[in-house]
């Protein structure tokens, strides 16, 4: 197994990656904890033992359950079992579960410890690490939430064998993002080292910019359009698939703004569509103006215009005040599935 440290001083924590890593859970539970609230979903493949008495809370599947109503339901459940500030919340599932359970933990008694046992590739390489928690509103994705670092994260690779092909493909969308942030040949690594390397990349960025004041926004490369696509398709397009299209869209937009060459755009297509075998075109039937409006609600947006993470001569960076005309034109450059 490989352990990656998220270096945040006295709030730092370990991310354990490997087969059977869930055996490390009890050692991560704070000594003050007398009980655990396990937040999961029906059908999640891993059983866990936190080493203290535990109550299981099953939340709904689908983005419609990533909501304030679910936070209220969990909070009332925590009250019923008498969960105290000294106890522990354990999430067991994918990125939606860690987002919801993390926000519930951040809110309960103004903050109770949480450990994420992540069972999907997206959760392992992205969602469970870094302390960003939240839920959706009809107006946008992840608009309500909190920064709440976990006490530890477990990436048990045994869970990957249970995932359907589409779920694994979604994880590759996030891994492709890291390719453009570092240039690392992640596909040349085995699963354990690939996932650990993605965790290390994110851990380094989080340690330098925990609350997304600058550098951490780079982790949203490809995500501005991705979140808009998820909302516009009512989540029929899965997150990793949307990120893949968002990456090539960001390249087209950067090219329109004179930031990168046509050859660099082609490299995005070769990586995303070729090496990672992910979609590179928009689903048909979407309204480009609606997508631009949705991108304008993104949480990175500042007053004065659209904000994107874009490639450029200095690498990937945050770019403010992008003209709506350029954003609309780049959608046409990406094109849609025939």
pLDDT at site 214? 82
As annotated, the active-site residues are 110, 132, 174, 202, 212, 216, 220, 223, 227, 239
Q: What is the mean pLDDT of the chain?
A: 94
- Pairing of β 2-6 and β 13-18: antiparallel
pLDDT above 90 as % of the chain: 90
Residues 6+ positions from 155 with CB-CB distance below 8 Å: 15, 16, 17, 18, 21, 118, 123, 124, 128, 195, 199
Fold classification of 2-166 is Rossmann fold (3.40.50)
Task: List, for residues 143-177, the tens digit of each pLDDT value.
Answer: 999 999 999 999 999 999 999 999 999 999 999 99
Alpha-carbon gap, residue 184 to 240, rounded angstroms: 19
Q: Which tens digit of pLDDT belongs to each residue from 297-308? A: 876 655 557 999
CATH fold for domain 221-338: Dehydroquinate synthase-like, alpha domain (1.20.1090)
pLDDT of 338 over the 70 cut: no
**pLDDT attached to residue 212:** 80
The pTM score is 0.90
Q: What is the pLDDT of residues 256-292, one digit of tens each?
A: 999 999 999 999 999 999 999 999 999 999 999 999 9
Give me the mean pLDDT over the 21-41 stretch.
97
CA distance 25 to 20: 10
pLDDT at 300: 61
Domain ranges of the chain: 2-166, 221-338
For tokens 């090496």, what's the residue? 275
CA distances from 320 to 231, 302, 307 (A): 22, 7, 4
**Tokens 């809110």 correspond to what residue?**
107
């Amino acid at each position: 197994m490989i352990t990656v440290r998220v270096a945040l001083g006295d709030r730092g924590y370990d991310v354990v990656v490997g087969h059977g890593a869930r055996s490390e859970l009890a050692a991560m539970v704070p000594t003050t904890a007398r009980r655990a609230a396990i937040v999961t979903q029906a059908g999640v493949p891993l059983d866990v033992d936190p080493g203290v008495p535990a109550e299981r809370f099953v939340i709904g599947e689908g983005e419609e359950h990533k909501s304030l109503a679910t936070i209220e339901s969990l909070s009332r459940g925590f009250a019923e079992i008498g969960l105290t500030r000294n106890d522990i919340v354990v999430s067991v599932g994918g990125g939606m579960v860690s987002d919801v359970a993390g926000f519930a933990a951040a809110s309960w008694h103004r903050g109770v410890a949480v450990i994420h046992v992540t069972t999907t590739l997206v959760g392992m390489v992205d969602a469970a690490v870094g302390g960003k928690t939240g839920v959706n509103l009809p107006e946008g994705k992840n608009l309500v939430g909190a920064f709440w670092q976990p006490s530890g994260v477990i990436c048990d690779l045994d869970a990957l064998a249970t995932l359907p092909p589409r779920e694994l493909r979604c994880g590759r969308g996030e891994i492709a993002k890291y390719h453009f942030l570092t240039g690392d040949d992640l596909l040349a690594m085995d699963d354990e080292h690939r996932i650990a390397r993605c965790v290390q990349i994110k851990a380094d960025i989080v340690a330098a910019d925990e609350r997304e004041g600058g550098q951490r926004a780079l982790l949203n490369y490809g995500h501005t359009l991705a979140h808009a696509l998820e909302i516009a398709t009512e989540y029929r397009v899965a997150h990793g698939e949307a990120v893949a299209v968002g990456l090539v869209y960001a390249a087209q937009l950067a090219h329109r703004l004179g930031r990168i060459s046509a050859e660099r755009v082609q490299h995005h297509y070769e990586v995303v569509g070729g090496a990672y075998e992910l979609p590179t075109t928009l689903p048909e039937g979407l309204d480009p103006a609606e997508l631009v409006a949705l991108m304008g609600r993104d949480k990175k947006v500042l007053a004065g215009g659209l904000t994107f993470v874009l490639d450029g001569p200095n690498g990937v960076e945050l770019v403010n005040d992008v003209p709506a005309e350029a954003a609309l034109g780049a959608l046409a450059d990406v094109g849609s599935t025939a």
